[in-house]
Amino acid sequence: MSILSKLLKGTAVAAAALGLTLGAAQAEKKDLTIAYVEWSDAVVATNVVKAALEDKGYKVKIVPLSGAAMWQAVATGEADAMVAAWLPGTHAAYYDKLKSKVDNLGPNVTGAKIGWAVPTYVDITTIEDIKKDPAKFGGKVIGIDPGAGLMKASEKAIKEYGLPVKLVEGSDATMVAALKDAYAKKEPIVITTWTPHWMFATWDLKYLDDPKGVFGGEETVNTIVSTKLKEEAPEAYKILDGFNLSLADEQALMVENEKPGADPAATAKAWVAANKAKVDAWTK
């Protein structure tokens, strides 16, 4: 073999090896982690996007965390994404602190809101009305998990309106349980709440007017991803960027998840299979 032939052969081998190396470096990351909080809407959205990604060959792990930990996990890259970021108000403090460390892909649900609600049989219409007879409500407003943006806004509301009530910490589940018990007995109760939530399809409830605007206006639920995701998994990034649900679809799925024996993962998979056109719009 001539020297030239040897050189050409060596160059070809080197080029092939380099191509393999570059190919490995550019391979799509297939193992993904999505963080979420165990709020009814977040459970639905997280399981739906998980099912859509799995249909495209990804292995997806979903991890329940507190609101603050969810944001931190995406900012540090421990989680690749979340689909439960309420903006511009509810999660403003988290976003302001971490926005340089995450990538905001925009709304996946629009028309969301937060506030306080009572059953329609309770004869008050505004947050200010609670002050007239706080004992009627046991001197309490039933809240969710501490650290949630809704709880921070609720603490502010108590101060702004000068209400002699205690904000009770708990979870989505404990708040709903308290509502269910009070509703069955037709007792007055004030709860912290948000839309979308399945309980508005289950019980007759009304938001209390907020004349001071403590809870802000309409919000969106946003998809937030790690700053590394676009490079590591560009196709998954596109799917997450396209992901969206209507309020009607999300609330219907929440109602399904409240049925005895329901499995949120199975509910989500069935919805993805039955809504191919909607899912194709995210994934193609």
> Does the structure show a pLDDT above 50 at 132?
yes
> Does the structure show a pLDDT above 50 at 4?
no
Any residues with CB less than 8 A from the CB of 43 and at least 6 apart, and which?
36, 254, 257, 264
Q: Which two tokens stand for residue 44?
A: 């639905």
> Does the structure show a pLDDT above 90 at 284?
no
pLDDT attached to residue 64? 97
41 by Cβ neighbours in 10 Å (0-12 / 13-18 / 19+) ranks as buried
> Does the structure show a pLDDT above 50 at 159?
yes
> Does the structure show a pLDDT above 90 at 83?
yes
> Does the structure show a pLDDT above 80 at 1?
no
pLDDT attached to residue 20? 45
- Residue, of 8 and 237, whose pLDDT is higher: 237
- Residue, of 13 and 30, whose pLDDT is higher: 30
Beta bridge partners of residue 194, listed in sequence order: 114
> Does the structure show a pLDDT above 90 at 21?
no
Map residue 201 onto helix, strand or coil: helix
pLDDT attached to residue 201? 86
**Residue 6, H or E segment:** helix 3-26
Query: Cα–Cα distance between 180 and 177 in angstroms, integer?
Result: 5
Residue pair 210/157 in contact (Cβ under 8 Å)? The answer is yes
pLDDT attached to residue 265? 98
Single out the residue of 26, 78, 10 nearest to residue 225, CA to CA.
78
Beta bridge partners of residue 191, listed in sequence order: 117, 142
Single out the residue of 36, 43, 32, 38 nearest to residue 245, CA to CA.
43
Secondary structure E strands in the chain: 31-36, 59-64, 81-87, 102-119, 140-142, 166-168, 191-195, 205-207, 219-226
Task: Give percent of the chain with pLDDT exceeding 90.
Answer: 88
Query: Cα–Cα distance between 176 and 44 in angstroms, integer?
Result: 17
Q: Which two tokens stand for residue 27?
A: 């391979």
Q: Which two tokens stand for residue 250?
A: 């999300």
Single out the residue of 136, 150, 250 nearest to residue 210, CA to CA.
150
For residue range 109-120, what is the model confidence (pLDDT) as tens digits? 999 999 999 999
> Does the structure show a pLDDT above 60 at 19?
no
Query: Cα–Cα distance between 196 and 112 in angstroms, integer?
Result: 6
Q: Per-residue DSSP letters for 184-198?
A: HTT----EEEEES-T
For residue range 193-248, what is the model confidence (pLDDT) as tens digits? 999 999 998 999 999 999 999 999 899 999 999 999 999 999 999 999 999 999 99
Single out the residue of 91, 109, 93 nearest to residue 150, CA to CA.
91
pLDDT attached to residue 26? 64
